[in-house]
Every structure is written in C-alpha cells, then in structure tokens.
Structure 1
Amino acid sequence: MKNSFIILFLVSLIFLSCKEEKKGSPSLLNSEKNAATKVTKRVGMVTGIKEDKIEYYKKLHAKVWPAVLKKIKDCNIQNYSIYLKKIGNEYYLFSYFEYTGSDYDMDMKKMAADRTTQQWWKLTDSTQKPLPEAAEKKQIWTNMEEVFHTN
C-alpha cells in the first residue's frame, strides 16, 4: 500500500478510528500527557502527474469524498494542500500538510488501512507518475526535506 499521501491523503488511509480511545484508559492518559508536548510536524511531498489525467484529478479533488476528509482529520492532519506545477515538459503535484498527533506512523497506518481511503487512492494513484525513488519502494509520493520555515 502507498505510504504517504495520503498515506495523504495524503497520504492515506482505517479499520479502527484514530480516536477510539475510551475515557480513563491508560493509552488515553498517555495521549493526554503527550498532548502538552506535541509538536506540529510539517510534511511536504512531490509526485508526477500524467498530463492527460490532470483535469480528472482536479475534478476528483473538487469534490473529495466526505469520509476521506473525515479520516484525514481523525488522523491528526490539518492544513492539507496540493499544488500543480509544470516544470519543463512534465507536470508535478506538490503536497503540504501539518500533522498534530503524537504517533505519526500509527496514524498513517490507520489511514492506509481504511477501505474508503484505499478506494480513493485507486482513483488518484492511476493519475500519478511516481518519482524513481518512490517507484522503487512501490510508493506514489516522495517526501521532501524542509529547508526553511517561519510563522
């Protein structure tokens, strides 16, 4: 399965809800303890997109399925954006989101396990052209290194 996006959408992305903890459970107490020390993780990714699929991709994202949007929020992702840019003769998608949870890997796994998200990714993945390093790992999106940030 695809890691990021979604792993978006992305990464993607759950059989269990990310917030199904019961009040008073040890894991909830630990997450409340960690809430004070949470740090927002900013994530930037890139992938190619097939030129003949750009309009289809835009139409999909003009009406993102409500269950996909809910899963994104449930997995502690906010301020999620995707940008399109032509560089030379190729088109690329650049995504950015902020992760505000306390266990990024766990939330991304939960998102990737979600059946609705998996269906969404089948539609979007077919439009994209992974960069070589992502393709080697059977992924769609490639993480980018943050080199600067200011508020």
Structure 2
Amino acid sequence: MKRFGSVTGLKHEKLAYYKKLHADAWPEVLKKIKECNIRNYSIYLQKIGNEYYLFSYFEYAGKDFDADMKKMAADPATQRWWKETDPCQQPLPQAAVKNQIWTDMEAVFHTD
C-alpha cells in the first residue's frame, strides 16, 4: 500500500460551499474512488494566518496508479464533481505552474 499526502488552498468565499459538498459527497463519486483502489481518503481543513488550506490523505491499494487515476479522470460523475470542487480551491504556486490543483507532500514519518 502506498500513502499520499497533498495540500492546496481554499478560497475564503468558497469555504461553506466546499464543506457542504463534502458533507454530502455524491455516491457515484465515492464508488469510483473505491473502484480506483483509493482507501482511507480524508481531507482536512486548516486556517493559517488569513488563508485556508486543505490537506488530503489517502492510501492506494492497487497495482497501477496511473491507470487508476486515468480511469477516475474519465468518469463523467467525477468530472462533474471536479467542476464543483476545483473552483473552490486555490493551488499553491508550484502546482499552479503545472496547471494542477493539489501539491504532493513528502512523507517524513509514519508508524502503524
């Protein structure tokens, strides 16, 4: 199993909407996440100074991450979901230059 952590910003004016979306995540999107071998997926929110940040954590239990991510990206329900969530997020500079939303984080410690 491989673990992933990533971070992005959250626009102030989208805070309530983002939380509402995730409080009632669409069943078809949750199903696709599971089908793509994502487990233990969590998103955390933290305000630092005057900015909001999202921290994402998940575990990948599959054998071909790139193929599973392509499968997820091709899913119409997931595409609609991202059209709702992406405008809420404020990419960090290093992600924005790559036209990405989330910035991968380096794992520095883990214990079971």
Same fold (TM over 0.5): yes
- Superposition RMSD on alpha carbons, in Å? 0.5
Superimposed CA distance per residue, residues 14-69 of structure 1 (whole angstroms, 9 cap, x where no aligned partner): xxxxxxxxxxxxxxxxxxxxxxxxxx010001000001111100000011110000
| TM-score normalised according to structure 1 size | 0.73
Gaps of 5+ in 2: none
- Measure, in 2, the Cα distance between the counterparts of 1:50 and 1:68: 23
State the partner residue of 2:77: 116
State the partner residue of 2:9: 48
1:128 Cα deviation (Å)?
0.5
- Measure, in 1, the Cα distance between the counterparts of 2:81 and 2:53: 19
Amino acid at match of 2:61: T
State the partner residue of 2:61: 100
Gaps of 5+ in 1: 1-39
Superimposed CA distance per residue, residues 118-143 of structure 1 (whole angstroms, 9 cap, x where no aligned partner): 11001000101000111111110011
- Greater strand content: 2
Kindly report structure 1 stretches of 4+ aligned residues shifted beyond 2 Å: none
Q: Which has the larger radius of gyration?
A: 1
Amino acid at match of 1:106: A
**Count of paired positions:** 112
Amino acid at match of 2:110: H
- Greater helix content: 2
State the partner residue of 2:52: 91
Q: Percent identity?
A: 72
| TM-score normalised according to structure 2 size | 0.98
